[in-house]
Chains A and B, each alone.
Chain A
Amino acid sequence: MRVEPPLPLTSRAPWEVIFHRGRDGVTLERFLAEAAALAARLPDNGPVLNFCADRYLALLGFAAALSRGQTTLLSADRTPQRLAEIARLHGARYALADSDIALALPVLRPEVAAGSDAPNPLIRADAVAAIAFTSGSTGESQAHPKPWGALVAGARAAAARFAVAPGASIVGTIPAQHMYGFETTLMLPLQGAGAGHAGSVFYPSDIAEALAEVPAPRLLVTTPLQMRALLGTGIALPPLAGVISATAPLAASLAAEAEAAWGAPLHEIYGATEAGSVASRRTLGEEGWEPYDGVDFAIGPEGAVVTVPGLPAPVPLADVLEWVAPGRFRLLGRRGDMVKLAGKRASLSGLTAMLTAIEGVEDGVFLAPEDLDRNPRGRLAALVVAPGLTAEAVVAALRARVEPAFLPRPVVMAAALPRDAVGKLRREDAIRLAWSR
């Protein structure tokens, strides 16, 4: 097997600003010194569960752990139950956090402490730098290890694809622990170009303020849901050089509205937690997605598989794809019964299994509306046969097992499900029953 040469922690020059904390620009030189100072304070063994909301602290913790040979566990879900589950299942030895959450392991708060000049450490390309998680069909988290070489290759491909200027400011609205947020707001400044904005940004007014705090050219990295809220409130934004969207397909109408309002090109990233970002398109005028440099798609009748530089094996995708032109593919939909909400995937049959496992539920099914992928406000529905239970009791039981985004709305209690003579669900009747109001 070919051994890849080690790669430095960062490709940026010492004087370059790689992060903005408020109005304070952090140069690479200062970042390396602060990361080394933090590394010296870390416990001897990882993995480390890093759920800092401040992106600079998240990056500092990641870099410090990596330089000590420790793997970072990335959980975009900061609920105590989920964090505890990941820590338990994946052997976290300690956590790095900037909020007060009690966990059954030591929680360190990273501090920004000045250090003396520090070198740019070399990291083995096959070292597992981070582990990202998806929730499997049973609801339990599945681990997706990220070798350092894959993260570096992805960041460099993204910087090239979006022609990110070295002095660009990157304001992201997705948690740094979501794979898309991690790649665009931590890895891009570390190994590509631009300077991240440290603050936690979520509501339209947060986004406007964060953009106003950083120098031009400004790149906004966000989601269709947040773009819709931004445009809906009509809040004014400083001039943008570009907008990137991911996590859900973006309607062409919303893309047109955004480009008109902000006067900047809007690109979408296609990716998955398992593979990372692997393709992009300019939403207006381009139906086809262009793979990132070095990424290879094999699209066949059995499904699509993507080969990503730095990942040890090809990754099967949950989407159905087809080629529309040389080097351009189109999304036809999701395979099987997978659905995606709030940047997370689940299978309808897996959710149905959790529903019917509830004590007192005799029969039940999760349903997705036809426009789930196009409607940012789309939600799943559940039809339930449970004579002794109320809809509220069913939702309460599901809440313990299902991510909030997948909780059904509405829950329709029925005397029986519409099934045919052999017991097969009559889908159209079920959908009519679920969304009758």
Chain B
Amino acid sequence: MTTTLSLEAEVAGLIVEALHLEIAPEAIDPEAPLFGEGLGLDSIDALEIALAVSKRYGFQLRSDDERNHRIFRSLRALAAHIETNRTG
């Protein structure tokens, strides 16, 4: 659990840095939606996150399945997906 929590903080930092967001990483509600409401990200951001994730964690995000909605549902869901798939 502690691993997940620290990874969550790391991914929050990655998102803030990659997207030049004007908030502190710890201000991101881990359960709030990343897109639309909540953080209000859009498709440009999705590509930026995919790029940052591939560089930092060594795997590619994909959009071919239902999982994608789950992965981007919240910071927590994205961090969990990275935890499972990371190679770096």
Chain A positions near chain B (C-beta within 8 angstroms): 79, 199-206, 209, 225-226, 228-229, 232-233, 235, 341-342, 376-377, 379, 391, 395, 399, 404-405, 407, 409-411, 437
Contacts and interface: CB of A to CB of B under 8 A. Distances in A.
B22 A199 contact: no
A203 B62 contact: yes
Majority SS at the chain B contact face: loop
Interface stretch (B1-9, B37-45, B75-83): B37-45
A125 B4 CA distance: 60
Given A225-B47, A229-B51, A205 B61 contact: yes
A407 B40 contact: yes
B27 to A, nearest CB: 10
Given A225-B47, A377-B48, A409-B20, A399 B40 contact: yes
B22 A203 contact: no
A203 B43 contact: no
A177 to B, nearest CB: 14
A341 B40 CA distance: 16
B50 A204 contact: yes
A225 B44 contact: yes
Contact of B22 (A201, A228, A399, A409): A409
A262 B60 CA distance: 19
Contact of B47 (A79, A203, A341, A391): A203
B63 A200 contact: yes
Interface in B43-68: 43-44, 46-48, 50-51, 54-55, 60-64
A342 B42 contact: yes
22 contacts: A79-B36, A203-B47, A203-B50, A203-B61, A204-B50, A204-B60, A205-B60, A206-B63, A229-B48, A229-B50, A232-B51, A232-B54, A233-B50, A233-B60, A235-B60, A376-B44, A377-B20, A404-B36, A404-B42, A405-B42, A407-B42, A409-B22
Contacts of B54: 204, 232-233, 235
A114 to B, nearest CB: 25
A206 B44 contact: no
Given A204-B54, A233-B51, A410-B22, A405 B44 contact: yes
Interface of B: 20-22, 36-37, 40-44, 46-48, 50-51, 54-55, 60-64
Given A203-B50, A203-B61, 14 more contacts: A201-B63, A202-B43, A203-B46, A204-B60, A225-B44, A229-B50, A232-B54, A342-B43, A342-B44, A377-B20, A377-B48, A404-B42, A405-B44, A411-B22
Contacts of B37: 399
Contacts of B47: 202-203, 225-226, 229
B51 A199 contact: no
A24 B20 CA distance: 43
A226 B22 CA distance: 24
Contacts of B42: 342, 404-405, 407
A225 B40 CA distance: 19
A206 B40 contact: no
Nearest to A226: B47
Contacts of A228: 51
| Highest count of chain A CB atoms <10 Å: which of B36, B47, B63, B64 | B47
Nearest to A341: B44
A409 B41 CA distance: 11
A342 B48 CA distance: 13
A225 B46 CA distance: 11
**Most B-side CB within 10 Å, residue of A200, A205, A379, A399:** A205
B14 to A, nearest CB: 14
A201 B88 CA distance: 25
Residue from A206, A395, A410 whose CB has the most chain B CB atoms within 10 Å: A206
A379 B41 CA distance: 12
A404 B54 CA distance: 24
B74 to A, nearest CB: 17
Contact of A232 (B44, B55, B63): B55
A404 B38 CA distance: 12
Contacts of B46: 202-203
B60 A202 contact: no
Contacts of A225: 44, 47
A117 to B, nearest CB: 33
A334 B44 CA distance: 22
A299 to B, nearest CB: 31
